[in-house]
Structure 1
Amino acid sequence: MGLKSFVEVPAGSHFPLENLPYGVFKPEPNSPPRPAVAVGNHVLDLSVIASAGLFDEPILKNSDCFNQPNLNKFLELGRPAWKEARATLQKLLSATEPTLRDSASLRSKALVPMDKAQMLLPIAVGDYSDFFSSMHHAKNCGTIFRGPENAINPNWFQLPIAYHGRASSIVISGTDIIRPRGQAHPTGNSPPYFGPSRRLDFELEMAAVVGPGNELGKPIDVNDAAGHIFGLVLMNDWSARDIQAWEYVPLGPFLGKSFGTTVSPWIVTLDALEPFSCDAPIQNPPPLPYLAEKTSKNYDISLEVLIKPAGQEDSFVITRSNFKHLYWTITQQLAHHTINGCNLRSGDLLGTGTISGPEPESFGCLLELTWNGQNPVSLGATTRRFLEDGDEVVFNGFCKGDGYNVGFGTCSGKILPAST
């Protein structure tokens, strides 16, 4: 059974002691942002814990990393500091430790009800790259646009494909997304259409948060890459499929992607995910030596997508997938990103690409679920080919342990009409 905290952790909670994901919040609208971990229905203010001198291990004792407006300085410290913090926090929050449990004044300052906390982006994202690492997604998209005989380009099986995204439009869960405008594919010999996207889509993704970076010109070995990944978040890489289809040749995604990318507020660490590691898919052909891992693993993270249609009270689950379906691992993605000498920095975000499974109900976007709009999905009294104004999309993700969950909370956003 799970670990026991003096803080109540409701049955089914995403945030037991086994998790302790990191985020950044404000307890009051005018308060400065401060780092926190989630436990049950509360957030634990790490600036209060640090000011009380309760991080007394060597690395964190003299650090001001928890008196910052984001987690970047903590990420820079690397895995030894992360392990120190995790051990300290699990002890402080345990049912048998009196330091925090028996101090009413300290508890009142440090523990904030989650529904009173304003969650913010937990990191300052300097750069954002988005990969294309699900074989099922690649095959489905290729089949839709090129036919089954040319579904996946040969290079896809040799390296983790990616594009450079727009860090400035990464937003926290709960932020509304304005329908983008742009050019779309012409019909026949007509000029291209310009206006609000008619094929707005979600993409079920996760993203790795970079911890310590690397110097320019010095790649990270694939077998050392896990030490450079702090944890994972849920990510919705919103996509305007019509804009994307017209612009992406020859240089790839641009305006069809850069209008908004939503991430969940809590970063679940690789240490919390380790009990749920599983074998990654066998790669054929075998990867080149710089991508060949001694141990190639994914994580068994259940993922689901719900849509609450405009004007309805009910939400409908339209996708159930799993992180373990990724063909290229997050460590291979990071190693490949740096193999040319590219320098990553703390807080950089590496998206996985859409995570689709082998079955139709596990497809990770409406492009696949509706087969490019041909087969609308049912949402109670209505249907959708692509997203409409007022629709809200919600991602959930969690790992199932023995008597506990390790989860990410939710990643949500509502579509607003295009600006005029």
Structure 2
Amino acid sequence: MLKSIKKEALLLLRDVGALIILFAMPLLLVVTITLLQDGAFKNISEQKTSILLVDNDKGKIANYIIQNFKGSAFDIKKELNNSPITEDTARKEVLQGNYLLAIVIPENLSNDLQTKVQTEVDIIINIFAGETTTSSYKTYSAKEICLYFDPTLQTSFKESVKSNIDKLLYQIENQFIYKTFESKLEESVKLPKTETLVTFREINPNMATAAIPNSTQHNVPGWALFAIFFITIPLSASIVKEKTQGTGLRLFTSPLPYWALLIAKIIIFLIISLLQFCLMVVIGVYVFPYLGLPILEVEGKLLSLLIVALASGLSAIGLGVLLGTLAKTQEQSAPLGATLTVLFAAIGGVWIPTFAMPHFMQLLSNISPMNWGLQAFYDILLRSGNLSSLFPKISALFLFFSSCILIAIYYDKTKRNI
């Protein structure tokens, strides 16, 4: 058995291309993807997105909008090249993709809104005074605030912006009403200040304070799984190579059963998978902070993480053994292993989070062993999960490994008996 392990280790060490695939490629991917996603996250939450404001009103509303957008993710521009922005210029800038949004405020909006509020307040006061006539009430045609959106924006983003602007204008109208009522009172009478009673705060259900998952917590486990499952390519190729080069025939003449011959490969590639995971964790803990990325918090979680990595490594090994046993040539095993790895990653939530997928794809993601491993990692890193809560996912990974190995052994036994 020790000689078999030594043989597998030497074969793998001499295959420089396989080592590059197994170690260098995943490291490059996890660093690159995390940098990209972290930059996108900062673009939304920290950096300002410029939008254009065309102020045809020249009144108070534009100033209200600018004041209320301060501190948000948007930076409002009223001028381009030191000149006021026109509606035609704003439309062209958005159409060319230079800006995501342009807001066009119509003429006389502030004056008409103030006049309308003044009239309505006078009517209300007259009604309380016993005068019920409304003959002096003047109707006003609706004012349109035009919004020019970049054509590439999603409908959900557009609706969110429109909802926020509508809420903002509602608040502005309430302020106009409030100030108008206050102006009608005696100077010695002051109305209480209007302050927001209800606010929102996002809180992680497992913690007392807010804790939002970051790009490192999503990408390190995801791409570690991707790297682990890539061992299916060299593992299946190794099994096929033994069959095509005659080495397998000599091994089959030995008294050892097929499962015993597989143990050496399982041990070597399991060590490889754990090394891959540990290397990813080291990158997340010690290298990412120097790149300006969030650190991977693993204190008190290493044992649970290693158990999940062990189960994930076994499931990847089981798949590689099955492919190597079923395939007749490396031209069959290598593309199939790469395709299945990419497919499991795609539907498993490594590239696109499952919550962002259509309902059908969310259901389909449940068949991916990468999804089981990824959810187990998320339970540990984000949900403070313990071993008992991880048991269903770890059991599924072990069951996948066992099923693949049993099918491979049965197929090999059947093939030998023919």
In our comparison, the structure showing a higher alpha carbon Rg is 2
Q: TM-score, normalised by structure 2?
A: 0.23
Question: Quick check: which one's strand share is greater?
Answer: 1
Question: Quick check: which one's helix share is greater?
Answer: 2
Q: TM-score, normalised by structure 1?
A: 0.23
Task: State the structure with bigger RCO (CA 8 A, min sep 6), 1 or 2.
Answer: 1
